[in-house]
């Protein structure tokens, strides 16, 4: 409804400069609305981030064994980290959890690459999305943190190890 109202105002305006101001107002307004709509999800994301930071601090204070490092070469890995049902099941779950109304873009096609760590216990941490659209990146991070299943961890020399995982995402926005 808000989008259609802004569009009516935009279409009714003849002055190009005023149209630009209306578009900027719309983007600013939608960013604020996005923040309001996602308060609970962002709160959960911040809680997870804080727990990760605390875990990192405690790891620095403890002695780490060699399997805590992410520097393993592909030849060292006996089994890669895997999501139950495979990569397509992960993509489907992330897609189902993705809050697409929270993404604002002038482009029809937007992309991001979500990198994260699969921990020894199969949980995920350090989720970071890198792409040109910040709202798409944030929604991708929230969706990734919200997946219900744990991964099966990577294995090196018979031991579970931390594993860096990357998931490219693309969204086509129909207008």
Kindly list the structural domains of the chain, giving each domain's residue range(s) and its CATH number in brackets, ordered by start. 65-172 (3.30.2420)
Query: Of 10-19, 48-57, 79-88, where does the model show the most confidence?
Result: 79-88
**Structure tokens given for 141:** 């991070």
Query: Of 25-34, 97-106, 107-116, where does the model show the most confidence?
Result: 107-116
CA atoms of 2 and 97, how far apart (whole Å): 23
Which residues, at least 6 apart from 16, have a Cβ–Cβ distance to it below 8 Å?
A: none
CA atoms of 10 and 26, how far apart (whole Å): 10
pLDDT value at residue 89:
94
Say whether pLDDT at 123 is over 60. yes
pLDDT digits (tens, 9 = 90+) for 134-173: 889 888 988 898 888 999 999 998 899 999 999 999 988 7
Report which of 166, 91, 100, 93 is spatially closest to residue 127, judged by C-alpha positions: 166
Instruction: Choose between 164 and 68: higher pLDDT.
Output: 164
Taking residues 36-59, report their average pLDDT. Answer: 62
**Are the CB atoms for 144 and 94 separated by under 8 Å?**
yes
Taking residues 79-100, report their average pLDDT. Answer: 90
Report which of 87, 85, 113, 88 is spatially closest to residue 171, judged by C-alpha positions: 113
**Are the CB atoms for 154 and 79 separated by under 8 Å?**
yes
Say whether pLDDT at 110 is over 60. yes
pLDDT value at residue 59:
63
Taking residues 24-48, report their average pLDDT. Answer: 66
CA atoms of 15 and 20, how far apart (whole Å): 9
Model pTM score: 0.62
DSSP string spanning the chain? Answer: -HHHHHHHHHHH---HHHHHHHHHHHHHHHHHHHHHHTHHHHHHHHHHHHHHHHHHHHHHHSPPPGGG-S---TTT-SB--B-TT-HHHHHHHHHHH--GGG---SSSEEEEEEEEEE-TTS-EEEEEEEES-HHHHHHHHHHHHT-SSPPBPEEETTEEE-EEEEEEEEEE---
Taking residues 103-117, report their average pLDDT. Answer: 90
pLDDT value at residue 68:
54
Taking residues 119-148, report their average pLDDT. Answer: 90
Say whether pLDDT at 84 is over 90. yes
């Amino acid at each position: 409804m808000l989008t259609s109202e802004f569009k009516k105002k935009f279409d009714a305006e003849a002055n190009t400069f005023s149209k630009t101001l209306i578009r900027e107002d719309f983007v600013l307004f939608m960013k604020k609305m996005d923040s309001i709509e996602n308060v609970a999800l962002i709160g959960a994301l911040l809680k997870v981030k804080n727990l990760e930071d605390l875990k990192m601090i405690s790891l620095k204070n403890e002695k780490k064994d060699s399997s805590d490092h992410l520097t393993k070469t592909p030849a060292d890995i006996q089994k890669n980290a895997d999501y139950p049902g495979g990569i397509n099941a992960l993509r489907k779950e992330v897609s189902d959890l993705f809050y697409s109304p929270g993404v604002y873009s002038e482009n029809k096609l937007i992309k991001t690459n979500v990198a994260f760590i699969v921990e020894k216990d199969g949980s995920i941490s350090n989720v970071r999305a890198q792409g040109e659209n910040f709202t798409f990146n944030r929604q991708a991070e929230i969706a990734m943190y919200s997946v219900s299943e744990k991964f099966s961890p990577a294995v090196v020399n018979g031991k579970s190890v931390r594993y860096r995982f990357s998931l490219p995402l693309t969204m086509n926005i129909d207008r």
